[in-house]
Amino acid sequence: MTRIATKKQREADAARRALMALMGGRPAYGASKETCGEWWTMVNRLGEVREREGAQAVVTVVEALKRAHPRIAEMMAGAETGGARIVPISAEELRAKQFAPPKWAVRGIVPAGLTILAGAPKMGKSWLCFDLAIAVARGGSVLGGVEVEQGSVLYLALEDNERRLRQRLDKLLEGGPTPPGLDFLCMDHGVPRLDEGGKEQIAWWLDEHPDARMVIVDTLVKFKARPRLGSGVYDQDNDSVQPLLQLASQRGVPLVVVHHTRKAGASDALEQINGSFGLSGGVDNVLVLKRERLRADAVLAVIGRDIEDKELALSWDAASARWSIAGDAAAVRLSQGQEAILVVLRQAGRAMTARGVWTLMEPDDPELTYNAVKLRMHRMARDGLLAAADGKYSIPLAPQ
């Protein structure tokens, strides 16, 4: 069997994080007698040392304590195990083990584990998260009919204040009742960063809400740990998500972090996420919200370890401030492309060559190529949507 972190080990972890913060010149946010246990007296006194003499004095004292007390050295190295040995699980045991079905927040889109939701600024990511949070807390469906599993939700809206949260709630609820079990932490509340007590804030909320179904961190850049001195970009990105990945895995809860995409576009959704592969490769699932000109309002790319990869076309309704699924992205792209060709032919009222159609379409979509229009019209003729004769295409008089 494998070892599970004991209360003693969690206290050592909390003390180590607190001391690392003090040694870095930062307050030990989230540290208390309850979180640090037997280490609290030392942490508290070193906090006073930092206030009186600065971070370097804390470093000097900690180094001296490590030399004098092996157990403190083990704790600072992350080796505080309380004498427990980690025993591997055999293949036979693993195959015989029974696992509970994975939890979902949004069926087929947001499963248990750590998920990144990335998109360009002002893309509507926060509106999407808000809608998901309300739907999960209330139960029912979201995105125009996708089933959710009801449960408590914690939303860390780290770029919003209470006033803006209230405005968004009023907009989305449309005068309806407030869903129970929906809690917020925002910029008005002084939420500490991940390594300064932020992770413990989420853990405490999860302890108090055994029915928790989703946690949202909006945005990652406001919550992630400050980079370690001398660490590379990959390590920094990986460090920013690993504690959340562990927390989501240990608690079996869907945890969504909101992030930005790069300015320059890329064909692969994973490459569109701002940062190195230490970020996208360090999570369980990835959602990329991207807008495509003259296509569906947006496309949501869904990529994950425990979910089927897919691209969903989304429609934005400004009146209700909600996204809804319009269908499979590939199908929506094709149907919109077909409709644009049919519109040109209807307005012309005559048969046209593919180049003639493309010439009329190109001003509205500069990225559209002649070859793409020619191939599409060829396929439409093959499928009976167009009539073809002498190199020209027209709308058939009767369905073929």
Asked if 358 and 300 sit in the same domain, the reply is no
Amino acid occupying residue 12: A
98 within domain boundaries: no
Asked if 131 and 62 sit in the same domain, the reply is no
339 within domain boundaries: no
Asked if 184 and 244 sit in the same domain, the reply is yes
R_g (Cα) of the chain, nearest Å: 27
Asked if 191 and 137 sit in the same domain, the reply is yes
Q: Which residues contact 267 (CB under 8 A, 6 or more apart)?
A: none
State residue 290's pLDDT score. Answer: 85
Q: Which residues contact 38 (CB under 8 A, 6 or more apart)?
A: 11
Asked if 56 and 148 sit in the same domain, the reply is no
Asked if 139 and 249 sit in the same domain, the reply is yes
Find the domain containing 140 and state its range.
104-328
Asked if 256 and 117 sit in the same domain, the reply is yes
Q: For helices 198-208 and 233-251, what crossing angle results, to 10°? A: 10
Asked if 298 and 364 sit in the same domain, the reply is no
Alpha helices (H) in the chain, listed in sequence order: 7-23, 33-36, 40-53, 55-68, 70-76, 91-96, 125-138, 162-173, 198-208, 233-251, 277-280, 329-348, 354-361, 370-382
163 within domain boundaries: yes
Asked if 135 and 253 sit in the same domain, the reply is yes
Asked if 56 and 133 sit in the same domain, the reply is no
State residue 316's pLDDT score. Answer: 84
Of the chain, the end-to-end C-alpha distance in Å amounts to: 65
pLDDT tens string, the chain, 400 residues long: the values are 444 457 788 888 888 888 988 888 888 877 888 888 899 999 999 999 998 998 899 999 999 998 888 888 888 887 544 544 557 888 988 898 888 787 899 999 999 999 999 988 888 899 999 999 999 999 999 999 999 999 999 999 999 999 999 999 999 999 899 999 999 999 999 999 988 889 999 999 999 999 999 999 998 999 988 877 777 788 778 778 888 998 998 898 999 999 988 766 666 677 777 767 777 788 899 999 987 543 447 889 899 888 888 888 888 888 888 999 887 776 666 677 788 898 899 889 899 999 999 999 877 777 788 998 999 899 888 877 788 999 999 987 643 3
How many residues does the structure list for the chain? Answer: 400
Interval 310-368: pLDDT, tens: 888 888 888 888 999 887 776 666 677 788 898 899 889 899 999 999 999 877 777 78
Within 10 angstroms of residue 366's Cβ, the number of other Cβ atoms is 8
342 within domain boundaries: no
State residue 353's pLDDT score. Answer: 95
CATH number of the domain residue 208 falls in: 3.40.50.300
148 within domain boundaries: yes
Asked if 210 and 171 sit in the same domain, the reply is yes
340 within domain boundaries: no
Asked if 321 and 360 sit in the same domain, the reply is no
Question: In this structure, is the dihedral angle defined by the CA atoms of residues 143, 149, 150 and 151, taken in order, positive or negative?
Answer: negative
What is the tally of structural domains in the chain? Answer: 3
Give the CA dihedral 240, 242, 243, 249, nearest 10 degrees: 140
176 within domain boundaries: yes
* Domain stops at, among 328, 362, 380: 328
CB 289 within 8 A of CB 298: yes
- Mapping DSSP to helix (H, G, I), strand (E, B) and coil, where does residue 387 land? strand
* Domain stops at, among 277, 299, 328: 328
1 within domain boundaries: no
Of 284, 264, 282, whose CA–CA distance to 274 is shortest?
Answer: 264
Of 148, 171, 123, 121, whose CA–CA distance to 314 is shortest?
Answer: 123
